[in-house]
Each structure stands twice: as C-alpha cells, then as structure tokens.
C-alpha cells in the first residue's frame, strides 16, 4: 500500500466550525489531491497540489482551502463547515501529472459529518 495517512479518520462537527483534514505521505510524490466522495456523484476533485506551496482548484473547490508547506503534507481546510460538506474525503498522490499510467494512489478516507 502507498504510504498515505489521513487524519482524522472520522470527525463530527457542528455547522460554522472550522475543520482541517491532514494528508501525510511517505512516498515523496510531487502531486497530491483532495477528493470528496458522495453517493450519486462518484469522486470529485476539490483541490490539488503540484509542489510545495503550489496548489490549484478542482471541480468543487468552493468552501475549501488547502495548504502544502512540505512535500509530505497536504492540508484541507473548511473555514466554516456546512451540512453540504458532510462527505468522505480522500487524499490521493501521484508520481506524475501526465503520461505514464496516470495512476492515483488513495488514502483510506476521512469521514466528516457536519451537524
């Protein structure tokens, strides 16, 4: 298994509170991603990073921010959580951004419930 650790694995919070999810990798891969998984929607990209301090928006970035101060860590922050952000969040990494087999390696997910 790819060395990806997500924390926390489960979190229940209240509407309006800030939440930070952490993704830590030991693979030294340059590219890191945050996805959310919801029934009927599959996996949707929130933000991704192509290097330290280099990030970009994905398909569903509203309400989320990210930071990457070290190669191994990619943080996802919900500044003010809403019930619509209740989801399972997956971190993924890849060795390259294009070409090759374009393989993503996923973490085990963080289940977030916003009450």
Which residues contact another protein (rule: CB under 8 A)?
A: 4, 31, 33, 40-45, 48, 50, 56, 58, 90, 92, 94, 96-109
| Residues whose CB falls within 8 Å of the CB of residue 62, separated by 6 or more in sequence, listed in order | none
CA dist., res. 30 & res. 50, Å (int): 6
93, HSE (Cβ side, Cα atoms, 13 Å): 23
CB of 81 to another protein, least distance (A): 22
Distance (Å, whole) CA 41 – CA 71: 30
CB of 101 to another protein, least distance (A): 6
Report the residue number, 17 or 96, with the smaller CB distance to another protein.
Answer: 96
Instruction: Tell me the closest approach of the beta carbon of residue 13 to another protein, in angstroms.
Output: 21
């Amino acid at each position: 298994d790819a060395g990806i650790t997500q924390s926390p694995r489960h979190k229940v919070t209240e509407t309006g509170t800030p939440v930070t999810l952490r993704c830590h990798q030991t693979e030294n891969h340059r590219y890191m991603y945050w996805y959310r998984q919801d029934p009927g929607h599959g996996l949707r990209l929130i933000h991704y990073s192509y290097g330290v301090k280099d990030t970009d928006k994905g398909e569903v970035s509203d309400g989320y921010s990210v930071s990457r101060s070290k190669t191994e860590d990619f943080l996802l922050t919900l500044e003010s959580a809403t019930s619509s952000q209740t989801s399972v969040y997956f971190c993924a990494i890849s060795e390259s951004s294009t070409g090759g087999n374009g393989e993503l390696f996923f973490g085990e997910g963080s289940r977030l419930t916003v009450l």
